[in-house]
Amino acid sequence: MLLLLAVLLFPGVASNVTEVCNGATWDADCGPNNRLIIQNADYGRMEVGHCVKYSLGHLGCSKPVTDILHNYCSTKRECHIKIPTKEMEDRKPCFGEMKVYLRVTWTCLPMVEYCNPKKLPYSGILTKNFCKTTTLKAGKGQKFSISSLVIQDNSKTTRICKSHVIINQRRYCIPASIGLHQLEIDDAEKMTIEFEEQAVLVYSILGCETPSPKDGFVIRRQDIYLSTRCEQDDRMHQAVCVRNQWKGEIANCTTQGKAVAVNEDKSKTDKRISIILTVVAAVLIAFVAPFAVLCYCKRKMRLKDSDIIYVPREAQKYPAPSTCKHDRMDHIYEYPNWNNVM
């Protein structure tokens, strides 16, 4: 249910689900360039066996605490909360001494700091702090999903709308209640957003960009399915859109009129395999090479030792015979019988 809600509010955005027991601290860090967004949070006893030594069964008692975590964490770079907070305890999701815990669904999104960004992230956060008017452009065949984010407001107001925002010359009301509220916007590849007052918007680009038509390139698209072929080739290549990326085969018509299938999954798999093989080869070389060198050196040492001629100690008293050509015959010595000496 949590993931379904996250998909509805943040289609195409990867989510993290974290469970934190009472007495523990939840730590979330999005880094310097991203901001944390709480998608959903429940406090109670949702499943059997969590945060207890002995399971006493499943009661299914819980209460939503998304608004509490919005106040603590949303739009911040990092968040550290010891569970439970006073606000969570006041909700009293379960009776008695039942062990409860926190389950939070969250994500990290980049903050768009330019009024007309050339390269737009698939998901991001917009505020009036950087630009009063921002223009967003998606690719052909893509569309936008925009939600307003309302966090704690200390000002006591009875207004239904906390603020207003103009999207493509249409005025939208941002509810005053804390949380995320999806705006019913018209499908368009270009969005011009004008902030009348301070507000926080979370956008996502949905779908995959349709390839540009070229000479000899036939394209047929139906929702998330894409069929492509070259005029000189009767073979049809199929692909499906998954998280803003085409998965499958897309025809690539060269100047010779031949259809070349581009399989993104296969190319990525081949690249991973080549990286793994390279790492394995490097590890083998690093560990096997020293042993091979050591064995070679030991073998050379054994060969040298086998060439040594051991002379008896008694024989060392006599000089060795000369092998020089200029030596005269009278320089030849008589040596004793070594057998008698030994």
pLDDT at site 257: 43
pLDDT above 80 (res 111)? yes
Hey, is 252 helix, strand or coil?
A: strand
Give the predicted TM-score (pTM) of the model: 0.63
Residues sharing a CB contact under 8 Å with residue 86, sequence separation 6 or more, in sequence order: none
pLDDT at site 130: 81
pLDDT above 70 (res 86)? yes
pLDDT at site 289: 76
Q: What is the DSSP string of 298-315?
A: HHHHHHHHHTPPPPPTGG
Q: Name the range with the highest mean pLDDT among 18-32, 116-130, 193-207, 305-319.
A: 18-32
251-306 pLDDT, tens digit each: 877 644 444 444 444 455 566 787 888 888 888 887 777 777 777 777 766 655 54
**Across 116-120, average pLDDT:** 81
84 preceded by cis ω (within 30°)?
yes
CA atoms within 13 Å, Cβ hemisphere of 291: 5
**Across 227-231, average pLDDT:** 84
31-60 pLDDT, tens digit each: 888 999 999 999 998 877 777 766 555 567
List % helix, strand, coil for the chain (3-state, nearest 5): 20, 35, 40
pLDDT at site 17: 92
Domains along the sequence of the chain with CATH: 2-110 (2.60.120.740), 123-206 (2.60.120), 217-261 (no CATH)
pLDDT at site 48: 72
Question: What are the phi and psi torsion angles at 326 (to 5°)?
Answer: -85, -5
Gap between the Cα atoms of 216 and 255, Å rounded: 9
Report the chain's C-alpha Rg in angstroms: 38
Q: Between 206 and 302, where is the model more confident?
A: 206
Gap between the Cα atoms of 45 and 65, Å rounded: 13
